[in-house]
Amino acid sequence: MLEIKNLSKSFQELKVIDHLSLTVYEKEIVVIIGPSGCGKSTMLNIISGLLRDYQGMIKKDVEKIGYVFQEDRILPWLSVYDNIRIVKAEDDRKTIEKLIKKVGLAGFENYYPDCLSGGMRQRCAIARALYYGSSLLLMDEPFKSLDYGLRKEMLLLLENIWQTEENTIIFVTHDIDEAIAIGHRILVLSNRPARVIKELYINRSLENRNCDGGEMLKMKNEIISLIA
């Protein structure tokens, strides 16, 4: 679905990404983890087409890419319903209502963002990205500003969405627990300039991933040693 070869990006003198290569297959959740400021968001911005000035090759098999940002970026002057509706020219009320229900915002369609909680705003952003109708979803630390309980709730929601919608998801985070909880494959990036230093596969089902012991704890410790 997505192939990146020898991707490099610099901001003036500062090299942010250095010969990064990766492949993302259909219907998988790839988590990209790395230290803060290592170039994870830059990589997503390049994949999405927001940043165009880079070296290397990117091959995409998708027309549209859905994006859930670190900050929700929902428009404060539009209701929840309208924030979702505007990403498509046509107003498909049935689909929007279905998505609103799916992300747990039923009853809040006409509500404005200034009175929604952080979690609700992020749910709205997820519904918007899903309504856009892309099979590839980029998520840039979407639950970073949420507390522990909400974050757990949002991960369950994401898991539920993936099981029903079967999107391909590239999920960027610096939280190891979050990475282990949601990813089928974890790519560990080095400090800036970013390169893939380790690729880890998780074969367990999403419900069976407790970091408190065994294999998962070993994986967690390995990631800590790599990015520390």
The residues that touch another protein, with contacts defined as CB under 8 A, are 48-50, 64-65, 67, 69, 71, 73, 75, 77-79, 86-87, 89, 107-108, 110-112, 115, 128, 132
Residue 108 C-beta: closest distance to another protein, Å: 6
Residue 144 C-beta: closest distance to another protein, Å: 15
Residue 70 C-beta: closest distance to another protein, Å: 10
Residue with tokens 């999405």: 48
Q: Of the two residues 61 and 199, which places its CB atom closer to another protein in the complex?
A: 61
Residue 184 C-beta: closest distance to another protein, Å: 25
Q: Which two tokens stand for residue 205?
A: 């089902």
DSSP string, 13-64: TEEEEEEEEEEE-TT-EEEEE--TTSSHHHHHHHHHTS----EEEEEE--S-
Residue with tokens 């970091």: 211
Nearest by Cα to 151 from 170, 131, 175: 175
Q: Alpha carbon of 187 to those of 24, 179, 180: distances in Å?
A: 11, 10, 11
Sign (positive or negative) of CA dihedral 145, 147, 150, 156: positive
Q: Of the two residues 82 and 222, which places its CB atom closer to another protein in the complex?
A: 82
Q: Of the two residues 140 and 186, which places its CB atom closer to another protein in the complex?
A: 140
CB-CB neighbours of 59 under 10 Å = 10
Q: Of the two residues 52 and 94, which places its CB atom closer to another protein in the complex?
A: 52
Residue 132 C-beta: closest distance to another protein, Å: 6
Q: Which helix (H) or strand (E) holds 138?
A: strand 136-140
**Distance, CA of 98 to CA of 81 (rounded, Å):** 11
Residue 67 C-beta: closest distance to another protein, Å: 5
Q: Of the two residues 36 and 117, which places its CB atom closer to another protein in the complex?
A: 117
Q: Of the two residues 29 and 44, which places its CB atom closer to another protein in the complex?
A: 44
